[in-house]
Amino acid sequence: MTQRTYFGLPVISRRGVRPADIARLPFAQFWCDSAVRSSQIQDTATGEWLVNLRDWENFASMFIETGRHRNMPQPKQVAWFDRDEGEPERTYFGLEITGDKMVREADIARLPFYDFWRDSSRGSAALVDPKTDTHLVYLHDWEAFAKLLIETGRHRFMPHLVET
């Protein structure tokens, strides 16, 4: 069975991932913007060039936690134990959770895979806050989408991966 890493990418020779596999992800350009100074290694068995697994996993974990990559200006960081009472709780890709267990669609729209999410969200319930006219998405729907994307690189309407 093929070992896989973030977003369902196959790990090659326990050392890296193929750039062509990254290119199939809905945020490939976002990765390219981040990949400046990333190391590539050559697989001795096949001769193909790979993105170093450590670089890919560092990118993916930062992206999943914050919705950002290393070459973007970073917001003021607050250590977890220093978090103020009023500091918002966050979920996948750094989205703020509203008090009623929702996320704002406008926050999702800033992510590099917004159109991909829109395809996945067809048929899902969404609300509009009547006071602010803000479009909201249920937290459980967002988190189900995010988990599937992180594990497989796919959304619920895409065919499942076939192991080779």
Among the ranges 49-53, 72-76, 85-89, which has the highest mean pLDDT value? 49-53
- Is the Cβ–Cβ distance between 72 and 42 less than 8 Å? no
pLDDT at 38: 73
pLDDT at 161: 57
pLDDT at 77: 58
pLDDT of 79 over the 80 cut: no
Question: What backbone torsions phi and psi does residue 84 show, to the nearest 5 degrees?
Answer: -70, 155
pLDDT at 68: 81
pLDDT at 20: 95
Question: What backbone torsions phi and psi does residue 127 show, to the nearest 5 degrees?
Answer: -125, 160
**Burial class for 87, CB neighbours closer than 10 Å (0-12, 13-18, 19+):** exposed
Least confident range of 1-10, 30-39, 56-65, 134-143 = 30-39
Q: What is the CB neighbour count within 10 angstroms for residue 118?
A: 13
pLDDT of 82 over the 60 cut: no
Q: What is the CB neighbour count within 10 angstroms for residue 21?
A: 19
How sure is the predictor about 84, in pLDDT bands with cuts at 50, 70 and 90? Answer: low
Handedness of CA 54, 69, 144, 27 (dihedral sign): negative
Cβ neighbours of residue 153 closer than 8 Å, sequence gap 6 or more: 7, 8, 9, 24, 25
Report, as an integer, the average pLDDT of 23-33.
92
How sure is the predictor about 75, in pLDDT bands with cuts at 50, 70 and 90? Answer: low
pLDDT at 7: 96
Report, as an integer, the average pLDDT of 55-83.
76
pLDDT of 128 over the 80 cut: yes
pLDDT at 1: 79
What is the Cα–Cα distance from 100 to 94, expressed in whole angstroms?
Answer: 17
pTM: 0.85
pLDDT of 95 over the 90 cut: yes
Report, as an integer, the average pLDDT of 18-31.
94
